[in-house]
A and B are shown apart, each in its own frame.
Chain A
Amino acid sequence: MSQREGTRELFENLEGYDELDDVDSRRRAIRLWSETFSEQWEILKEDRLVVFGAVTITLFSLIAIFAPFLAPHPPTERMWDGGMIMQWENPLWYGGEGGYLLGTTAEGYDIFSQLIFGSRPALIVGLSAAVLCAGIGTIVALVAGYYGGRVDDILMRIVDVAYGLPLLPSVILLVAMLGPSFLNVILAVVLLQWRASARVIRSQVLSIRERPYVQAAKVTGASDWRIISRHIAPNILPLTFLYGAFAIATGILTEAGVSFIGLGDPSQVSWGTMLQTAHTYNAMYHQTWWWFIPPGICIALVVISGFLIGRGYEEVTNPALRGNN
């Protein structure tokens, strides 16, 4: 992503607050932040695609939270008919017996229930990757960009190293060594993906640091923390969200890819492990597409929602991209 100059200075007009006393400052800080959010939301909600993304993610989050109530069966409970495992049962709308909405797997698990429960790891991986990548990236960027000098140099060389690591091979190596589990997938994704937000946000911080109101605050003796949290952080917030939203996508796709290769968490059902099992049992060859297509669609829906929200933020940060301006 190219560097972005000319981001709107959302907070320039809030300059005067610095002179107020500390008792009010917390309340004002809260107001300041909530104004930021609501202003951004005003821009975002005009874009139907962003709303679609937000709704989809919310929907999947609800599904994940209420999975046990929505799924007719636990995800790895075998279905029996008399003494026989109900393997490869067709969906109920396709002449299947037992009333399974999407039929059963080769092992006799209910596919629909697996799909419902599969939303949990996907969202956990996606959202934690998002929060951690964007969070770490932003903190590094603020520190490097604000303090500059040697700190900046060291941090940016670390970013360079992180940029030298190919994503999927590195994640595969890490997960293989640490052991296949969701925690390790998240860890590996975060270790690699904070780099993007760190580099781009840092250059933003560099330019904001030089702006008159920041310089003015420095002159009045405001603490570093105050300057960072009041003047700089709110301005780079859209970028943080932008990279957070993209990290949802990276996290989910990486988890699916790693599972597909056979390094998924064997103790949990995720969309990625579902696809791997379907592939192992040749679901496509047997034309049982109801086992194979839905997890791919679900992954794509969540990922594209992340992208759509991210794209919305991209337009917040870079008005040149907004249509009709």
Chain B
Amino acid sequence: MATFRTPIDRRKFLKRATAAGTGVAITAAAGCLDDGEDEEELDDEEEAGEPLPEFTYFNNPEDYNPGRHDTINLIADRWTDEVGINVEVEVLEWGTLFSTVNDEYDYDLATWSQFPGVDIAENVAERFTSAHADEPGTGNHMGYQDEEMDELIATQQRTEEMDERVEAVHEIQEKIAEDVPFHPILYEAELMPHKNDQVDGWVDHIEGYNRLPNYVNVEVLDENEDGFLRGFWTEALENLNPWAHQGLSKHVHLMDALFEKPIHMTPELEVDEELSLVDDIERPDAETIVWEIKEDASWSDGEPLTAEDVAFTYQTIVDEAPSQYSLQASEVAGAEVIDEYTVQIDLNTEFGLAANGVIGHPIYITPEHVWEGVDLPQEELEEEPVSSGIVEVDYWDPGQEVNLVARDDHRLDFEIEGINWEIITSSSTIWELTDRGEINYHPFAQPSRELSEAHEEDDTLSVAEVEGSGWTHLNINTRNEGLDEQAVRQALAHGIPKETISEQLYYGYYPPGHSYVSPSFDELHNPDVEGIYTGDVEEAHETLREGGFVITDEGVHYAD
């Protein structure tokens, strides 16, 4: 375990927060630690002007995500008590929280987790394009507007040269680190707790362990009697309709086993030639993609999977614009069949290297002979979809379990005989069943005391870990008074006790985050951005002073 010690030095102004009305209560238990020793000089009150306004920090309910809930409380305490920036925590139901931030752009500070996927092109454009700041619901809730950034975003999407892309993406990371409209708190590692006497051979992949590259690579061991991956989900599945997965992990984890995708990526983030449905990619120009697809793919009802199905899928995305494919709906102009196994996708804007990750990778191909003529396919309830992936649906009871069995005639080779999930809402039950070996893998894993203890004590439990693409991150609404100051935003980032959060609230499983592009993206990640913001309160104060702010025992003020 890494050593962390940011000394806790509570200042006088901290007492205000807890002392009110409590005669005997010890107000600053934590303050006793190094009282007075490296007490920092405070500024003269006479220089102080208006105080910085109080900010509201949205938090999700505790039971929705306890680790994150506690993280937000801890950060808010730190900002208020030690940095001197007053922050009040407001708990909102998750759906309300997200829509207030994303659909209304009406917030100060908010934190959640997000996974940009195998290519950041989609996420970076959504979040940081200047035009999106003016139109609520389009992604730039931070209100970040910067012409240089717009150009960098366009360059990294358009270029065919890896070097040029790396340079642009590195610069994007530096700008985000300096301007801080967004700041990663932790990199969210992908975790796969599993019974090492039943299944093994997990492949470290930026997408995590619940995708096709793992399903075809895991080995079935002796203790696993029926060869199934046996997992769980913590709430009922809603739908097995590939048009309606809404990006929810519980659905996407299964979709990846149920449906072919044009493009799969290797752990090195190159096109996986074996797993991808696409056999050959041609780019006549930057706005056209021609795919030749494999000839041995088939549907579970016996029909062959052809270019017709691929073209149908993309054309439906354009026509119906289901929300999960909204980016593709706006970037794709149309699709046409060239011959039985060749399809052409026309784009609205120029795409270079990013096309594989953004246009090809996220799409599940659907059978034309099933979906043809269906209006609004995303609103259908699909209980037993005709599948093209390595498994098909055997049995599904929404509130109880789902059982997918392997398709023996599938074009890919793999060992598992199927995937079974039970719906289990209580995590103690999950760990009981894991202990007994009735569950052999965890499609849903969050750092917790249960995980950390089982990891240590149960010899048959291993945890595969890899840094993923995502982060638990801070969003700052740069439109609001006070938060429009770069120095304030930097001070907030300086004040986040990342080490404590990582070590204690996430039991060491998620490392401290630093850059918008996580290290798992290899060369796209900019190592220079690491280590700028480390939770040092004094640096926060220095930044504020350099930015012209005055710090008194009342907190942070504008200069008079």
CB distance from B33 to the nearest CB of A (A): 7
CB-nearest residue of chain A to B5: A83
Is A82 a contact partner of B33 (Cβ separation < 8 A)? yes
Chain A positions within 8 Å of B61 at CB level: 262, 266
Given the known interface contacts A107-B70, A276-B62, the answer about A80 and B30 at a Cβ–Cβ threshold of 8 Å is yes
Asked whether any CB of chain A lies closer than 8 Å to the CB of B8, the reply is: yes
Residue of A nearest to B18 (CB): A74
A80-B30, A276-B63 known; A282+B504 contact, CB < 8 A: no
A68–B70 CA distance with the chains assembled, in angstroms:
24
Q: A107-B70, A262-B61 are in contact. Are A83 and B500 (CB under 8 A)?
A: yes
Q: Which of A33-89 contact B (CB under 8 A)?
A: 68-69, 71-74, 76-80, 82-85, 87-88
Q: A170 interface residue, CB < 8 Å from B?
A: no
Q: How far is the CB of B41 from chain A (nearest CB, A)?
A: 23
Q: Is B36 an interface residue (CB 8 A)?
A: no
Check A82/B62 contact, CB under 8 A, given A68-B23, A282-B450.
Answer: no
Cα A180 to Cα B325 with chains together (Å):
35
CA distance A262 to B63 in the complex (A): 7
Residues of A within 8 A of B8 (CB): 80, 83
Q: From residue A84, how far is it (CB to closest CB) to chain B in Å?
A: 7
In the bound complex, residues from chain B placing their C-beta under 8 Å from that of A286 are 449-450
Q: Is the CB of B74 within 8 A of A284?
A: no
Check A284/B428 contact, CB under 8 A, given A68-B22, A74-B18.
yes
The reply on B29 being an interface residue by CB < 8 A is yes
Q: How far is the CA of A84 from the CA of B6 in the complex (A)?
A: 9
Query: Of residues A84, A180, A285, which shows the largest number of chain B Cβ atoms within 10 Å of its Cβ?
Result: A285
Across the interface, do B427 and A282 meet the contact criterion of CB distance under 8 Å?
yes
Given A79-B29, A80-B30, A82-B33, the answer on whether A69 and B63 have CB atoms closer than 8 Å is no
* Contacting residue for B450 out of A68, A82, A87, A285, CB 8 A: A285
CA distance A233 to B187 in the complex (A): 67
User: Which label, helix, strand, loop or mixed, suits the secondary structure of the A interface?
Assistant: loop
A235 within 8 A of B: no
In the complex, whether A93 has a CB less than 8 A from a CB of chain B is: no
- Smallest Cβ distance from B157 to chain A, in angstroms? 41
Candidates A68, A77, A79, A106; contact of B449 at CB < 8 Å: A106
The answer, yes or no, to whether B302 is at the interface (CB within 8 Å) is no
B21 near A85: Cβ-Cβ < 8 Å: no
**Quick one: CB contact mask for A179-203 with B, threshold 8 Å, 1 for yes?**
0100000000000000000000000
Which A217-266 residues have C-beta < 8 A from chain B? 262, 266
Q: Are B26 and A282 in contact (CB under 8 A)?
A: no
Is the CB–CB distance between B449 and A282 below 8 Å?
yes
Chain B: minimal CB distance from A278 (Å): 11
B7 CB within 8 Å of chain A: yes
Max chain B Cβ within 10 angstroms of own Cβ: one of A79, A80, A276, A286: A80
A282 to B429, CA, bound (A): 10
| CA gap between A262 and B91 in the complex, in Å | 11
When the two chains form their complex, are residues A85 and B500 in contact, meaning their CB atoms are under 8 A apart? yes
A180 to B91 alpha-carbon distance, docked (Å): 9
Q: Which B residues, 459 to 481, have Cβ-Cβ distances below 8 Å to chain A?
A: none
Q: Do residues A80 and B33 form an inter-chain contact, with CB atoms below 8 A? A: yes
Given contacts A266-B61, A280-B66, contact A82 B5 (CB under 8 A): yes
Judging by beta carbons under 8 Å apart, are A285 and B500 in contact? no
Q: Which of A73, A77, A87, A279 contacts B504 (CB 8 A)?
A: A87
**Taking the nearest CB of chain B, how far is it from the CB of A214, in angstroms?**
50
CB-based contact A69/B23 at 8 Å: yes
Whether, in the assembled complex, A281 has its beta carbon less than 8 Å from a beta carbon of chain B, the answer is yes
Q: Does A277 contact B (CB under 8 A)?
A: yes
The reply to whether the CB of B403 lies closer than 8 angstroms to some CB of chain A is no
- Give the docked Cα–Cα distance between A82 and B450 (Å): 25
CB distance from A77 to the nearest CB of B (A): 6
B450 adjacent to A73 (CB under 8 Å): no
Instruction: Give Cα A73 to B23, complex, Å.
Output: 11
B4 contacts A83, CB within 8 Å? yes
Residues of B within 8 A of A83 (CB): 4-8, 500
Nearest A residue to B453, CB-CB: A286
- Chain A positions 281 through 310: 1 when the CB is less than 8 Å from some CB of chain B, otherwise 0: 110111000000000000000000000000
Given A68-B22, A281-B66: A77 touches B29 (CB 8 Å cut-off)? yes
Alpha-carbon separation in the docked complex, A178 to B21 (Å): 30
Within 8 A of A (CB), among B50-85: 59, 61-64, 66, 70, 73-74, 77
Q: In the docked arrangement, what's the CA distance between A72 and B27, Å?
A: 10
Does B414 have its Cβ within 8 Å of any Cβ on chain A?
Answer: no
Q: Which of B21, B25, B450 is the most central at the interface, judged by chain A CB atoms within 10 Å of its CB?
A: B25
Given contacts A82-B33, A83-B6, A276-B62, contact A282 B428 (CB under 8 A): yes
The listed residue (A74, A76, A84, A280) touching B63 by CB distance below 8 A is A280
Question: Given A68-B23, A80-B8, are A73 and B91 neighbors across the interface (CB < 8 Å)?
Answer: no
| Cα-based distance from A306 to B77 in the complex (angstroms) | 38
Q: How far, in angstroms, from A15 to B448 measured CA to CA in the complex?
A: 71
Q: Given A88-B449, A106-B449, A280-B62: A285 and B428 within 8 A (CB)?
A: yes
Nearest-neighbour CB distance to chain B for A136, whole angstroms, equals: 30
Does B24 touch A at the CB level, under 8 Å?
yes
Give the most central of B26, B500, B504: most A CB within 10 Å: B504
A72 to B59 CA separation, bound complex (whole angstroms): 27
How distant is B174 from chain A, measured CB to nearest CB, in Å? 30
Q: How far is the CA of A284 from the CA of B450 in the complex (A)?
A: 12
Distance in Å: Cβ of A34 to nearest Cβ of chain B: 35
Determine if B396 is an interface residue (Cβ-Cβ < 8 Å).
Answer: no
Contact, CB under 8 Å: A281 / B449: yes
Which residues of B in the span 1-39 have a Cβ within 8 Å of any Cβ on A?
A: 4-8, 18, 21-27, 29-30, 33
7 interchain pairs, CB-CB under 8 A: A74-B22, A80-B8, A80-B30, A83-B4, A180-B91, A280-B62, A282-B448
Known: A73-B29, A79-B29. 12 other contacts (CB 8 A): A69-B24, A73-B25, A73-B26, A74-B22, A80-B29, A84-B504, A88-B449, A107-B73, A276-B63, A277-B66, A282-B427, A282-B449
Top 10 A-B pairs, shortest CB-CB distance: A266-B91, A68-B22, A285-B428, A83-B5, A80-B30, A69-B24, A262-B63, A280-B63, A74-B18, A280-B66
